[in-house]
A and B are shown apart, each in its own frame.
Chain A
Amino acid sequence: MLEGIIRFLFRTRGHGRLHTTDILMYVYLTLGTFLMFGPVVWGVISSFKTPAELEKYPPSFLPYASKTVAVEGYDRPLSMYTVTLDDGSVAELAQVRRVGIEAQFIDPANPDALIKVHVDQTEPISSLALQWENYTLPLERFEFFTFFKNSIVVTVLATLLTLLINSMAAFALSKYDFRGRDLIFLLTISTLMIPTTVTLVPNFLIITELGWVNSLVGVIIPAVASPTSVFLLRQYMLTLPDELLEAARLDGASEWRIYWQIVVPLSAPAIAVLAIFSVNWRWNDFLWPLIVLTHTEQFTIPIGLHLFQGDYQIEWQYLLAMSVLALLPITVIFAFLQKYITTGIASTGIKM
């Protein structure tokens, strides 16, 4: 059977013989898959572990949690151990405390008798368990719920505005002949290559003057007018036939109606690709929100995660769980639209 699987996996087209380059190719792709998904998978698995498990070295692959038992007379649950007793018999006992190399146990069925054993003779009992508290606790206690809400607000509003404003401009630049059009287009494409980092300082001033420091508006608005989007949408709209617009005008459609009911639907492929990019970029944006936002109530997820990991003691169990939540929406979108996204980018050549 194994042979069959191998033959299936390494099947080549037409030729019966497996070429060395084919083997190398599959080795590369397998390694690549492992490398690309590895850290994410490892992060997801780790996010379900208890803090004690996270500190274990070498780490166990799957999330285990030690079995605990509630015993009368003790206010916290006790961990269960497999203990080899001095007479050679093996028993499952609950650990009360550990003093140096000696641990004190009790039998949960008979909580009065204290048994002292050398730690070498004990083995913790653990079972596969997902630590959902890693996810629920930060949402309740550390304002991660607010961060998620803020990120959603920023992503949705910014994307809608970006699509609307830039498609309107692209429509004017591609379908009208007006004075100043070429100048506007030239200005737009000349800023395509200017990195945003270059304009950080003056943009911060403008935000300050407008009173938008520390508000989500200050995160959303400055990057809404995007030269890249205008350029791409214009190029796409140029391919739409002008006769269509003329016919609509003859039928008495207003310019807005032509834009909204003819040009926008026909440009759907380009707009969809831009929408995906806008969502992805806004959801993950880091440097600009880091500068604009200073109060925790306004933080987006990336800023919240960054702040959380900057704390003196990193609480990895929460950090990993929140990272997984942060990558979840993008991953789900990608899983469904994978083919569309990858082919869309290849055909439009959008720069992220």
Chain B
Amino acid sequence: MSEINVHPEISLQLQIRRQTQKAIKLLTVPLVGLLIVLLNGIGLFMDAIQKRIGIRRMAYIFVLPNMLLFTVFSLLPILGNFYYAFTAGTKVLPENRYFAGTANFEFLLHCDNYLDPGSCRADLFWRGLFNTVNYVVFAVGGILLFSLITAVILNRPIKGRGFFRGVFFYPTLLSSVVVALLWKWVLQRQGILNASLTGLGLEPVNFLLNAAWSNFWVIFIGVWSNVGFYTLIVLAGLQAIPGTLYEAAKIDGAGPWDSFRYITLPLVKPSLIVVFVLSFIRCVQVFDHVFVMTGGGPGTATQYIVQYIYNTGFSSNPPNLGVAAAASLILGLILLVLTLIQLRVTGSGEETDYA
């Protein structure tokens, strides 16, 4: 044994530090070098093109990469969706599929009683639809309510405003898989929440195996992990309201509630509409955290449309891409119609405000 016997943990730490430094060097040096070479290369290439075609046409070169990818991965797929929706078969490639007419849509939309998902041929689709409506109503409602409350509080001159703004925003940065796992760990039968409930003398609950509770938690976590982002939008709206309005109202004898009701609320309405539209589009597509946390269960209690599309088109055997595409189209159509209605309603609402 040598004299200099470093504590094993410290030596491990040193080793790790040395390794990371080496790794960073190994990673960054070639990466930065490559970037410089690449950018210089692009620069020379672009200059050469400019000599050939002249300044005026350079704009086309600048939009070209973006337009190419945009066409292939955004425009074509939108059209392609129609092709898939009207064809059937288990194959992915278009030439191996056969025309099916409206069979996929008939399958999805056929119900004996439209209020009872059990009577539909695609009962899971309808359950997904009903569950999604339920989720959207409560999650969007929750997001609107809590982002407004939080923003109003954070707009006041309080200590540590920046800190609290960060606190509420932090969960929006977390991966939905990580969010789902962290909450699953809190909510499980042997979890800390149940331990706290037992400590308070209450009965422990198997939250994720109970339909009503898992619905509650899925919505709760949906709000939890998104509210910070929307709070910032509302906050930006609140900060645009001139303080003189409140002072004038105070002189006229208005209380805090009157100020909120007659100044804050009407003036923050445009921001709330933005929050409403954005969170609505997001909530309709709910999938990630629920899929990881409950897998759609218990039973089909938390199965939503996107999970239906994923299950039908990608994880079932054989995959049914036709029905999945048809379901996507229906989802897209619903979103389009609802967005138009929202814009219409909120647009006319504003007109009457200014009238």
Give residues in A with beta carbon < 8 Å to B: 9, 11, 13, 21, 25, 28-29, 32-33, 35-40, 42-43, 46, 55, 57-59, 156, 160, 165-166, 168-169, 171-173, 176, 178, 181, 184, 187-188, 191, 193-206, 208-209, 221-225, 227, 230, 249, 254-257, 259-260, 280, 283-284, 286-287, 290-291, 301-302, 305-306, 309, 316, 319-320, 323, 326-327, 330-331, 334, 338-339, 341-342, 345-347, 349, 351-352
A199, B74: Cβ atoms under 8 Å? Answer: yes
The yes or no answer to B324 lying at the interface (CB within 8 A) is yes
B236, A58: Cβ atoms under 8 Å? Answer: no
For A40, the chain B residues whose CB sits under 8 A away are 170-171, 174, 182
A29, B164: Cβ atoms under 8 Å? Answer: yes
A255, B58: Cβ atoms under 8 Å? Answer: yes
For B339, the chain A residues whose CB sits under 8 A away are 193
Given contacts A191-B74, A193-B339, A305 and B178 within 8 Å (CB-CB) = yes
For A38, the chain B residues whose CB sits under 8 A away are 186
Interface-side segment among B121-129, B133-141, B192-200: B192-200
A178, B235: Cβ atoms under 8 Å? Answer: no
Given contacts A169-B66, A302-B175, A58 and B149 within 8 Å (CB-CB) = no
B199, A58: Cβ atoms under 8 Å? Answer: yes
A35 and B150 alpha carbons, distance in the complex (Å): 13
**Within residues 76 to 119 of chain B, which ones have a CB less than 8 A from any CB in chain A?**
76-81, 83-84, 92-94
Given contacts A206-B72, A256-B46, A283 and B236 within 8 Å (CB-CB) = no
B65, A286: Cβ atoms under 8 Å? Answer: no
The yes or no answer to B354 lying at the interface (CB within 8 A) is no
Given contacts A172-B63, A230-B66, A200 and B313 within 8 Å (CB-CB) = yes
Given contacts A225-B73, A334-B170, A352-B229, A178 and B59 within 8 Å (CB-CB) = yes
Question: Which of B55, B63, B195 has the most C-beta atoms of chain A within 10 angstroms of its own C-beta?
Answer: B63
A168, B66: Cβ atoms under 8 Å? Answer: yes
B313, A32: Cβ atoms under 8 Å? Answer: no
Consensus secondary structure, chain A interface: helix
Consensus secondary structure, chain B interface: helix
Given contacts A172-B63, A259-B62, A347 and B236 within 8 Å (CB-CB) = yes
The yes or no answer to B70 lying at the interface (CB within 8 A) is yes
Q: Of all chain A residues, which has the CB nearest B279?
A: A351
A352, B81: Cβ atoms under 8 Å? Answer: no
The 3 closest A-B pairs by CB, nearest first: A202-B80, A284-B175, A176-B59
For A42, the chain B residues whose CB sits under 8 A away are 182, 185-186, 192
| Chain B interface residue count, Cβ-Cβ cutoff 8 angstroms | 104
A184, B63: Cβ atoms under 8 Å? Answer: yes
A202, B77: Cβ atoms under 8 Å? Answer: yes
Query: Given B67, B92, B167, B172, which contacts A352 in the complex, CB threshold below 8 Å?
Result: B172
A334, B173: Cβ atoms under 8 Å? Answer: yes
B92, A286: Cβ atoms under 8 Å? Answer: no
Would you give the shortest CB distance from B56 to chain A, in whole angstroms?
7
B181, A199: Cβ atoms under 8 Å? Answer: no
B177, A204: Cβ atoms under 8 Å? Answer: no
For A33, the chain B residues whose CB sits under 8 A away are 164, 167
Q: Of all chain B residues, which has the CB nearest A338?
A: B166
A225 and B158 alpha carbons, distance in the complex (Å): 41
Give how many A-B residue pairs fall within 8 Å (CB-CB): 293
Query: Given B57, B81, B177, B182, which contacts A199 in the complex, CB threshold below 8 Å?
Result: B81
For A209, the chain B residues whose CB sits under 8 A away are 93
A181, B176: Cβ atoms under 8 Å? Answer: no
A256, B42: Cβ atoms under 8 Å? Answer: yes
The yes or no answer to B285 lying at the interface (CB within 8 A) is yes
For A156, the chain B residues whose CB sits under 8 A away are 31
Would you give the shortest CB distance from A269 to chain B, in whole angstroms?
15
The yes or no answer to B328 lying at the interface (CB within 8 A) is yes
Would you give the shortest CB distance from A7 to chain B, in whole angstroms?
13
A46 and B65 alpha carbons, distance in the complex (Å): 47
A342 and B75 alpha carbons, distance in the complex (Å): 33
A208 and B256 alpha carbons, distance in the complex (Å): 60
B284, A195: Cβ atoms under 8 Å? Answer: yes
Interface-side segment among B206-214, B242-250, B329-337, B345-353: B329-337
**What would be 10 A-B contacts, judged by CB atoms less than 8 Å apart?**
A13-B157, A58-B195, A58-B198, A197-B287, A197-B328, A199-B328, A200-B314, A201-B77, A227-B74, A283-B175
A254, B92: Cβ atoms under 8 Å? Answer: no
A201 and B47 alpha carbons, distance in the complex (Å): 40
A39 and B70 alpha carbons, distance in the complex (Å): 39
A225, B74: Cβ atoms under 8 Å? Answer: yes
Q: Of all chain B residues, which has the CB nearest A209?
A: B93
For A287, the chain B residues whose CB sits under 8 A away are 287-288, 306, 310
Query: Given A184, A206, A305, which contacts B73 in the complex, CB threshold below 8 Å?
Result: A206
A323, B93: Cβ atoms under 8 Å? Answer: no
Query: Given A37, A198, A255, which contacts B81 in the complex, CB threshold below 8 Å?
Result: A198
A197 and B153 alpha carbons, distance in the complex (Å): 35
For B268, the chain A residues whose CB sits under 8 A away are none
Q: Of all chain B residues, which has the CB nearest A291?
A: B314
Q: Of all chain B residues, which has the CB nearest A175?
A: B59
